[in-house]
Every structure is written in structure tokens, then in C-alpha cells.
């Protein structure tokens, strides 16, 4: 995409973007806004919105990177795609392993979401219509925020304030299951175990593996929002984890949809979200439209 008209003032930029021959909507970008006081390194987020935004639904995006890498700037087409659809788009950073433990990572994202809930009205968003989304590690973080109400409760935000949750190709909704699967696979093939696998990332205590799993916390009458679970249909681990999360949600009578994307891979599924003609984007559009009618 090429920016052919832009104005940058401090941390705010206005840019008219184009995709192909059709001009995209004008977009105001607010970068590196701190969500903690005082903020630690990486406790910042970016907001993308139409210049005249008012009471628009909000997408809160959590990047992937194995909880060790990644950045809020890695959003591909998503900001422009959602602004074109009449949304405010937020992308957040959070502190990373091994500098902080997993509990702190989840708490960071909860604090960021709470800041958005309390402040997004100043940027044209509606705090009562927030969708939580994330890819890969961000999918696990999105799912745990939307099922384990302790993190948002600590920030004074109820789960009932969320409109929907869209985890994208995550493999850690049931962490004991993925640890067992990966370790048995390596064992039967005579391969050495990973030095920094999910067991190490989520702590050596099996109780933590259970506690950091979204499936552990799913129950009726908690205010858990509807889910759309996007995954790569040809990948055995993310497919199994998506099915597992979906089944537990349905057993608790929480609305859940599955969409297995074909002819793609872990990175491409994420990269293509927002593109015209993309099947996963179509499923996402339909899910969001349905939830906004409620």
C-alpha cells in the first residue's frame, strides 16, 4: 500500500491510503500511547481511527511472537481494513519472556484493554463494543482474557463489556494437551525435547499449565463473549486446539464458531486478514456483523 497524502504532527499522523485503484478511508494514527502510569518499557499501544470517528466499535489486537518477540506495528492490512469498515483499531504491546513471567504478560494486556475501555471514547470508539483479537501467542492471550475474568476484574472491567473474541491460529488453549502432544511426538521419533518449549514458557509447575489454559476457565453465566476461532485447517495442532476450545465453549452454552482456513499457513492466515476475497476475512466480517446486531 502506498501513502499518497500524509500529515504527521508529533505522535499523530493522518494518511490517505490506497489499495489497488480504489482510495481507502482517511485514517488518523495515535502512536505509543502509554497505558500504565508510569509505563514500563513496551506498555504502550497504537490507535487507528477515522478522523471523524464517534461511538464506533473497537478492535483490540494482540500481536503474536511466542510471548518472546513481536510488536504492535506488525498489523499488516488490519488497521486500514477495519477503519474502512467503520471501526477504531487498537494494537497493543506488552512485556515479553524472559524479562517477565507469563502472569505479568497477561496482566499487561488486561491493563491495556482496561485503558482502552476507559479512554477509547476520546478517540471515537465505543467502550461497550470491543472485540478482542490476537494471532498465535496473541490468540492465547485473547482467549485467556475473555475466559478467566480475574485479570480484567483486577482492572475493574467486567467480561460483559466485551462484544466478541477472535483467537487466530493459537495452539495453547489447552496447554497440558499441547505439551503432551509435542513431547510424545518427539519421544516416539527419537528426537531431543525442546529446550524452550511450552512447558518452559508457561512455567514448570503443571498447575500453571492448567491455569493459563482458556478451557480451564470456561463456564456458564460468567459473561464470556461469543467466539470466532480461526485456524489453519491443515495444521494438526492448531486444528485440535481450535476444536477443543470450541467444544468446551459449546458445552457451556457460549456461542462459538469455527473457521478452518484452507490453502494457507500460520503466518499467511494472519497476514491476509482484511484483504478482499480472503475467506477467513469473510468469516470474520460475518461474525462481527452478527454480534453488532445484538
Report pLDDT for 11: 46
Closest alpha carbon to 230 in 201, 190, 271: 271
pLDDT score of 23: 63
Task: Single out the residue of 53, 116, 118 nearest to residue 87, CA to CA.
Answer: 53
> Which pLDDT score is estimated for 24?
80
- Dihedral pair phi/psi, residue 64, rounded to 5°: -95, -165
pLDDT at 9: 28
pLDDT tens, residue by residue, 93-108: 999 999 999 999 999 9
pTM over 0.85: yes
Residue 25: predicted pLDDT:
81
Q: Mapping DSSP to helix (H, G, I), strand (E, B) and coil, where does residue 246 land?
A: helix
The single-letter DSSP state of residue 55 is S
Looking at residue 251, its pLDDT comes to 98
Query: What pLDDT score does 130 carry?
Result: 98
Domain residues of the chain, as ranges? 25-292
| Homologous superfamily of the 25-292 domain (CATH) | Alpha/Beta hydrolase fold, catalytic domain (3.40.50.1820)
Are the C-beta atoms of residues 13 and 29 closer than 8 Å to each other?
yes
pLDDT lower than 70: segments of the chain: 1-23
- SS3 letters across 150-204: HHHHHCCCCHHHEEEEEEECCCCCCHHHHHHHHHHHHHHCCCCCCCCCHHHHCCC
Amino acid at each position: 500500500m502506498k501513502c499518497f497524502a500524509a500529515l504527521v504532527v508529533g505522535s499523530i499522523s493522518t494518511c490517505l491510503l490506497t489499495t489497488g485503484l480504489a482510495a481507502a478511508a482517511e485514517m488518523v494514527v495515535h502512536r505509543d500511547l502509554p497505558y500504565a502510569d508510569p509505563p514500563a518499557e513496551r506498555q504502550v499501544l497504537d490507535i487507528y481511527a477515522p478522523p471523524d470517528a464517534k461511538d464506533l466499535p473497537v478492535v483490540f489486537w494482540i500481536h503474536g511472537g511466542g510471548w518472546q518477540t513481536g510488536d504492535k506495528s506488525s498489523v499488516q492490512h488490519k488497521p486500514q481494513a477495519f477503519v474502512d469498515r467503520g471501526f477504531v483499531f487498537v494494537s497493543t504491546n506488552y512485556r515479553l519472556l524472559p524479562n517477565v513471567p507469563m502472569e505479568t504478560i497477561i496482566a499487561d494486556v488486561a491493563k491495556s484493554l482496561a485503558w482502552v475501555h476507559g479512554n477509547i471514547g476520546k478517540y471515537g470508539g465505543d467502550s461497550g463494543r470491543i472485540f478482542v483479537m490476537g494471532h498465535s501467542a496473541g490468540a492465547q492471550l485473547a482467549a485467556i482474557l475473555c475466559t478467566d475474568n480475574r485479570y480484567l476484574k483486577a482492572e475493574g472491567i467486567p467480561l460483559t463489556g466485551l462484544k466478541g473474541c477472535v483467537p487466530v491460529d493459537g495452539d495453547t488453549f489447552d496447554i497440558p494437551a499441547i505439551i503432551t502432544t509435542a513431547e510424545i511426538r518427539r519421544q516416539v521419533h527419537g528426537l531431543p525435547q525442546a529446550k524452550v518449549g511450552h512447558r518452559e514458557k508457561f512455567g514448570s509447575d503443571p498447575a500453571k499449565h492448567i491455569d493459563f489454559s482458556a478451557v480451564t476457565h470456561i463456564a456458564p453465566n460468567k459473561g464470556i463473549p461469543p467466539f470466532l476461532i480461526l485456524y489453519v485447517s491443515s495444521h494438526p495442532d492448531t486444528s485440535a486446539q481450535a476444536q477443543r476450545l470450541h467444544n468446551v465453549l459449546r458445552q457451556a452454552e457460549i456461542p462459538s464458531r469455527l473457521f478452518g482456513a484452507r490453502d494457507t499457513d500460520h503466518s499467511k492466515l494472519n497476514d491476509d486478514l482484511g484483504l478482499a476475497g480472503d475467506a477467513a476475512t469473510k468469516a470474520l466480517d460475518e461474525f462481527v456483523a452478527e454480534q453488532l446486531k445484538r
